[in-house]
Chains A and B, each alone.
Chain A
Amino acid sequence: MPTEKSKPVVAFYGLTCCAGCQLEVLNLEEELLEILGHINLVQFRMGSSAKHPGPYDVCFVEGSVTNEAELAHLKELREKSKVLVALGACATTGGVNALRNGRNIEELKQSVYGDASHVRTLPQIQPLKEYVKVDYELQGCPIAGDEFIEFLTALLTGGEPSEKNYAVCVECRLKENICLMKEGELCLGPITRAGCGARCPSVGFPCEGCWGPVPQANVESEINMFSQKGASFDVVVRKFRMFNASMEDFMKQLKKRLDIEWL
């Protein structure tokens, strides 16, 4: 058994988000005690109010940078951490926070807050890796518990955590799900990174893309397939923006095909 001293110091922090990814970690009830046998968890607000100033061996950061204060906080965490891991859609693609991208931020503030002079916010949401060096990313809204465990075990045994550079379709076929695209649904599975275990398609819901784009995502073909299924312009844009509005390639392809100024 490693002593507290020899165990890696691990911290969790949240920026702007619902904290659902940290909650997923807390939900690993069966495994948590075993995990705590291997790490020195010094900061995890879901389980303890204790605080720790750092430095950290591994720092997990969920959420998006939405203002200057969060940006400063993220930079500080980066400096204090040997390994920094972006946790979940908000941190890896911008998630739903990025829906503001391309819109007039002053108008948005006005419509949400009325007098919004006290609201200080950045006009664009970007993945954390656009601001600081991110060593690893765990995608998803929320992250998948089994991916978190696999990642942690790889890190603890000195292995390189593996990336799933393939689409949700792989997981769907292995589960022998009926292909929702074939059923006429608008599913982002073919251009979305796997890792969720085909969470949504397995219960009959088309993929919304929360794991972010798969490498070499064929966005053009996806737009074609959606159009063939009779999807309106508006529906296609919404579908693509839901979790991936900050993903340049997605938006570039949409712009090219659909001729939208503000994307």
Chain B
Amino acid sequence: MGLLPEKVLNEWVIIMAPRSTTSPLILKKGDITPFIKKLTHILTVYGPVAKKTQFVFDEISEGSQLRLDYDTTILPPKKYFIPPQEEMVRFSLSPQLNITSPLEESEEATLWNGKRFVIVGIHSCDLAAIKFHDKILTQVYPDPYRTHRRERGIIIGLNCLTPCEESFCKSTMTLSSTEGADLMLTELHDSYYVDVLTETGQLVIDYTKSLFSSASKEQSKSVEQLLTSREDTFPDLIPEFEKLPERLQVGYEGEMWARLGNRCFGCGACTLVCPTCFCFDVKDRVELDLNQGSRVRNWDSCQLVDFALVAGGHNFRPTIPSRVRFRIYHKFWIEPEQIQVIGCVGCGRCTRTCPADIDMIELLTDIQEGGT
């Protein structure tokens, strides 16, 4: 197999993008509320908000709803680029078949015509996942629907300063990803230090200019220190992560899969919350007037029994163990072969959500130790 671990590594290094080229800015925490208010005048604003004991990305109308102190969210921000349920075309059957597509919208999306949206506070792991989709959903499986939304999305990233439970982003080398973000925030005492990474980011700054001041040299230095110190504070929970593809090639029929399969419910929760999973199923739906309808794609999961079921009734992965194994091989072998990037960003959502308490760190460590 033509897998090159070095190449995988390089790709992540590229994703760990540089800091801003223009001079960094400061946004006082107290100015988050007017900043969000101003954004809502021209954009739909999404960000992390509290949901009982956890957090979710949701639409924000008031800055006070925004919880930039969140650890992680139940679903990743991919839901804004690939919605769980999305109309691909609308149709009516009579008087004659008429089909329209949301992609035919002629008006170009600008910052000013209400067609764009901004997601505030995306962590580095999720930024890496967005980059991952940018790559695989243009190079391997071009997806015009996702591209349509991606072009309309503005991303304000947020550097993580403390590791969150179940995550292993240092091992996946996604801890310092900033590429894909238009602005990148770093919490600094009573302020946010702002790196402007793109032209779109600059447009947002220009629009809300009065709220920002220039960062001082000391502040830049503090941020630099904060970010570098993460090398010590974030643990490397899965050493030699980039060797996983190679190690998976050793064994395929190991008892590990049966053991995992006995425990796994095949419920698909891990894939739904995964920021890099992108599989979908397409269905036609006719409305009750029996005339209008739509072709809808819904998130699907390789863990579900119908996923690899084909015409004639054959199922390529008929058992739970075979599906669990497929998920791991797809992320850690097939995707690296396709786009030279491992399909896992270390966010730990799969572990946090698994009703059978399957732990991704344990599972990958088993593979590293030759346990397949």
Q: Measuring CB to CB, which residues of chain A are less than 8 angstroms from any residue of chain B?
A: 31, 34-35, 38, 149-150, 153-154, 156-157, 159, 162, 165-167, 169-170, 172-174, 176-179, 181-182, 187, 189-191, 215-218, 220-222, 224-225, 228
Contacts and interface: CB of A to CB of B under 8 A. Distances in A.
Most chain A beta-carbon contacts within 10 A, residue among B267, B301, B356, B357: B267
Most chain A beta-carbon contacts within 10 A, residue among B269, B273, B285, B319: B269
Given A176-B74, A216-B305, A220-B262, A166 B287 contact: no
A181 B355 contact: yes
Interface stretch (B47-55, B183-191, B338-346): B47-55
Interface string B181-225: 000000000000000000000000000000000000000000000
Interface of B: 51-54, 56, 73-75, 84, 262-269, 272-273, 283-290, 299, 301, 304-306, 319-320, 352-353, 355-357
Contacts of A228: 357
B52 A167 contact: no
A173 B54 CA distance: 13
A39 B169 CA distance: 57
B283 A190 contact: no
Given A170-B301, A190-B356, A179 B269 contact: yes
A178 B269 CA distance: 12
A218 B75 CA distance: 25
A169 B358 CA distance: 15
Nearest to B281: A162
A225 B357 contact: yes
Nearest to B266: A216
A166 B304 contact: yes
A174 B299 CA distance: 9
Given A218-B356, A221-B263, 13 more contacts: A166-B306, A170-B269, A170-B304, A173-B74, A173-B268, A173-B273, A176-B73, A176-B74, A176-B75, A178-B51, A178-B53, A189-B267, A218-B262
Given A153-B290, A216-B320, A221-B356, A191 B74 contact: no
30 contacts: A153-B285, A153-B288, A156-B290, A165-B304, A166-B306, A167-B267, A169-B267, A170-B268, A170-B269, A170-B304, A174-B299, A176-B51, A176-B75, A178-B54, A178-B74, A179-B353, A179-B355, A182-B352, A182-B353, A182-B355, A190-B267, A216-B319, A216-B320, A218-B263, A218-B266, A218-B320, A221-B262, A221-B263, A221-B264, A224-B263
B24 to A, nearest CB: 34
A187 B355 contact: yes
Contact of B353 (A150, A173, A174, A220): A173
A108 B264 CA distance: 38
Contacts of A222: 265
Nearest to B353: A179
A56 to B, nearest CB: 20
A157 B286 contact: yes
B267 A174 contact: no
A215 B355 contact: no
Nearest to B85: A174
A244 to B, nearest CB: 16
Most chain A beta-carbon contacts within 10 A, residue among B284, B288, B301, B306: B288
Nearest to B288: A34
A167 B356 CA distance: 13
Nearest to B54: A178
Contact of A225 (B269, B290, B305, B356): B356
Given A220-B262, A221-B264, A165 B288 contact: no
Contacts of B305: 165-166, 215-216
Nearest to A228: B357
B304 A190 contact: no
Nearest to B298: A174
Q: Which 3 A-B pairs have the closest CB atoms?
A: A169-B267, A190-B265, A181-B355
B233 to A, nearest CB: 26
Contacts of B284: 159
Contacts of A215: 305
Nearest to B74: A176
Given A35-B288, A220-B262, A162 B283 contact: yes
B31 to A, nearest CB: 29
Nearest to A163: B306
Contacts of B299: 174
B269 A149 contact: no
A180 to B, nearest CB: 9
Nearest to B304: A166
Nearest to A173: B272
B126 to A, nearest CB: 15
Contacts of B52: 178
A38 B285 CA distance: 17
Contact of A169 (B75, B269, B287, B306): B269
A217 B304 CA distance: 11
A189 B355 contact: yes
Nearest to A149: B288
